[in-house]
Amino acid sequence: MEEYSAMPTRRTVTRADVELVHWTWPGAEPTALLLHGIGNYGRYWDLFADAVDGRLALIAPDARGHGESGRPASAYAPEDFVADAMAVLDARGIERAVVVGHSMGGLHSIHLASRHPERVRALVIVDAGPEPLPEGSERARRLLTERPARFASRAQARAYFERTSPGYVDAVYRNRLEWALREEDDGLVWRSDQRALEQIMSGRAAPSDRWAALARISCPTLVVRGTRSNVLSAEVARRMVASLPRGSLLELDAGHNVALDQPARLAEAVIGMASTADEHF
């Protein structure tokens, strides 16, 4: 295995004329593919990667319309994101990955595992489900559609993050300042594209399609729920596990952003799933 570095390598691949930026951390096999939520970016997983500490190799794409990846005018359906994830795996020569998806990325991971079972060793769905709680959906809509277009300074942006998402450690806010925003001459603007966010929110799959996709998954699957989540209810999480032939549930003391609240606990869970999956190959 390559020597572990806390700083990932920036790589790119182009699919359907869209450049897909992805970040790789070296580590032991198997590789974990990390899919972030709406409005986020691949480096969202930095704290998680630090906790993994080279015990797995990691790949974290910036989803199209997010981070440093391309921003096409359209093509933001779940199948577009799944095809992008496959292109990233192919570019890195990964035949089978442990797939970890949070929120929007969790929903995409369900579709990936159901459509391409030969590419998924194990699946970890982090605080995402076929039927999100209304309060979580409304909060996401409000934050993504009513956010300020720009900030005059880093201090102003930091104050906004602390006000809208209180209670995180300092490292989380520093990560947000570095990767959620980019600097322009007259301030800081969002890396995620507003048109892309609106298309994603308006083009989500129906709950019945999500449940059907979940039922087709055959690999070992862990559903992770934050006990303070406003997105995934305990009842839906239990139904998800019951619908999976090899499903299990882990509840952690966290809000919706489990990887930010509990990066070490989530890292241990993903490493455990990778070990369990290895027993079947």
Tell me the mean pLDDT in the region 117-122: 97
CA angle (278, 280, 281) in 5-degree steps: 70
Is 188 inside a domain boundary? no
* Tokens of residue 12, six digits: 């790119």
pLDDT in tens, 58-76: 999 999 999 999 999 999 9
What does residue 202 show for φ and ψ, rounded to 5 degrees?
-85, -15
223 within 8 A of 127, measured Cβ to Cβ: no
CA angle (46, 47, 50) in 5-degree steps: 90
Percentage of the chain beyond pLDDT 90 is: 93
Is 234 inside a domain boundary? yes
CA 143, CA 194: separation in Å to the nearest integer? 11
Range of the domain at 103: 9-134+195-278
Tell me the mean pLDDT in the region 140-149: 93
Which residues have a Cβ under 8 Å from the Cβ of 163 and sit 6 or more positions away? none
Residue entry with tokens 């450049």: 19
Angle between helices 104-115 and 207-215 (to 10 degrees): 50
Is 150 inside a domain boundary? no
Is 238 inside a domain boundary? yes
Is the pTM higher than 0.75? The answer reads yes
Confidence (pLDDT) at 224: 98
Greater confidence, 58 or 281?
58
CATH code of the domain in which 263 resides: 3.40.50.1820
Is 172 inside a domain boundary? no
pLDDT in tens, 197-226: 999 999 888 999 999 999 999 999 999 999
Count of structural domains, the chain: 1
* Strands of the 187-190 sheet, one edge to the other: 150-151, 187-190, 181-184
Q: What is the DSSP string of 6-61?
A: SSPEEEEEEETTEEEEEEEE--SSSEEEEE--TT--GGGGHHHHHHHTTSSEEEEE
Residue 263: asked if its preceding bond is cis (omega within 30°), the reply is: no
pLDDT in tens, 97-109: 999 999 999 999 9
Is 240 inside a domain boundary? yes
pLDDT in tens, 217-257: 999 999 999 999 999 999 999 999 999 999 999 999 999 99
Tell me the mean pLDDT in the region 9-15: 98
In DSSP terms, which residues pair with 31 in a beta bridge? 57
Q: Is the pLDDT of residue 281 over 50?
A: no
Is 261 inside a domain boundary? yes
Is 166 inside a domain boundary? no
